Structure 1
Amino acid sequence: MSGLDRRAVVAELVAGDALVVSGLGSASYDLYAAGDRDENFYLWGAMGSAVPVGLGVALAQPDRSVVVLTGDGEQLMGLGSLATVGARRPANLTVVVLDNGHYGETGMQQSHTSRGTDLVAVARGCGIADAFSVREPHQVPDLVERIRARSGPAFAQVLISTDEPPRALPPRDGVFVKNRFRAALGLATF
């Protein structure tokens, strides 16, 4: 599958001041490679949880742009969360699915998106009207603008290549990541 360079796309998406929740595996590696920040919340071992966590952050922080960065495999596991996003409609939430059409964490088997599942149609069917695919580099700046505009919710399926860049491992201490994220928001840590 040809597609966009995942690391270049992620670096462009997170160059602003958005709060970013990343799913397990490659999404977190890509986010960390783009630059570790206190406003990054990396999930480890919580497959299917990136969208629900990001939704909670978006609802709690309505004046901040919130980006969920996940892969097609994780999103397929958590399809029901898109219905909740569609029902709650947080204007500041953008779900970005890095879709290489494979389950990268379990051996690169083809995912359902390679076999006909249309995540954009699923997102629209769940009530996320601003759902679209990003296939070309010139479309990425438009996605960045949607994140900043906070007129969502928005859902972007970013079609990436199957290339596996070297792993860049973010902090794995969940309490540290949580407390750092909370402190960046001016909230108490515990």
Structure 2
Amino acid sequence: MTNPNALLHRRDVVNELLRDRGDILVIAGLGAPNWDVSAAGDHANNFPLWGAMGAATMMGLGLALAQPKRKVLVITGDGEMLMSIGALATVAVEKPANLTIAVLDNERFGETGMQKTHTASGVDLAGIALAAGIRTSRTVRTMEQVREIRDLAHQGKGTVFALVKINPEALVFTLPPADGVILTTRFRQSVLGDEALYN
């Protein structure tokens, strides 16, 4: 039986989500999720957000719709997701089969001093996603469940939302490249190939 209060280690979670990633495209929400994705290994198919709080899910949606043959994984935090809660309604309406959203929920605003977010007071983001119409929406508290989310992301048979409950630990930063031009150009070339050079 799953401990209803179990918390996972964020980098264990991200490492597992990105294990044997193949050509999956990753949008990394600003702050700690960005550092976690970078700690798992810099990759041309990563697009780390240095700013644009609240944009990760909508960027993932746009990418999934524009590249329906590619799998898209958004890895972001609870504070970022709370800022763009309406995005879940749009995702539910569009129903991209190739989009998985993994929210690392430490119940804290990590970038501004670890103040508690609304999830610490019982706001259920997985429940909100389900109510919006994302049928595969769940709260994750074990590594076995993380592996299930990873498998669903690679299968690409429907929109997936996972609220992953993690420990509010502070870890050493592993920073991705910070130059927006380099990141954008690299990602476009990785996604579009030679076509990126002419558009």
Instruction: Give the TM-score category using the shorter length.
Output: over 0.9
Tell me the TM-score normalised to structure 1 length. Answer: 0.97
Amino acid paired to 2:29: G
Residue 2 (structure 1) shift = 5.5
Instruction: Quote the Cα distance in structure 2 between the aligned partners of 1:99 and 1:165.
Output: 15
Flag the 1:132–1:2 CA change in 2: closer, same or farther, 3 A: closer
Instruction: Quote the Cα distance in structure 2 between the aligned partners of 1:171 and 1:34.
Output: 14
* 1:42 aligned onto 2:48: yes
- Which residue of the partner structure matches residue 177 of structure 1? 183
Aligned residue for 1:188, secondary structure, equals: helix
Aligned residue for 1:165, secondary structure, equals: coil
Unaligned runs of 5+ in 1: none
Residue 30 (structure 1) shift = 0.2
Contact 1:29 1:169 in 2 (8 A): yes
Q: 1:11 aligns with which of 7, 11, 15?
A: 15
Contact 1:2 1:162 in 2 (8 A): no
Instruction: Quote the Cα distance in structure 2 between the aligned partners of 1:77 and 1:125.
Output: 18
Residue 116 (structure 1) shift = 1.1
Show the 5 A alignment for 1:24-173: 24-173=30-179
Tell me the TM-score normalised to structure 2 length. Answer: 0.92
Instruction: Quote the Cα distance in structure 2 between the aligned partners of 1:49 and 1:176.
Output: 19
Amino acid paired to 1:5: H
Instruction: Quote the Cα distance in structure 2 between the aligned partners of 1:130 and 1:174.
Output: 33
Instruction: Quote the Cα distance in structure 2 between the aligned partners of 1:152 and 1:43.
Output: 25
Contact 2:64 2:71 in 1 (8 A): yes
Residue 174 (structure 1) shift = 1.1
Amino acid paired to 2:86: G
Runs of 4+ in 1 over 4 A off after TM superposition: none
Instruction: Quote the Cα distance in structure 2 between the aligned partners of 1:153 and 1:137.
Output: 20
Please give the root-mean-square deviation of Cα atoms over the aligned residues, in Å.
Answer: 1.2
Q: CA-to-partner distance for each residue in 1:130-182, whole Å, 9 max, x for gaps?
A: 00011012211111111011112110000010111100111111111111011
Unaligned runs of 5+ in 2: none
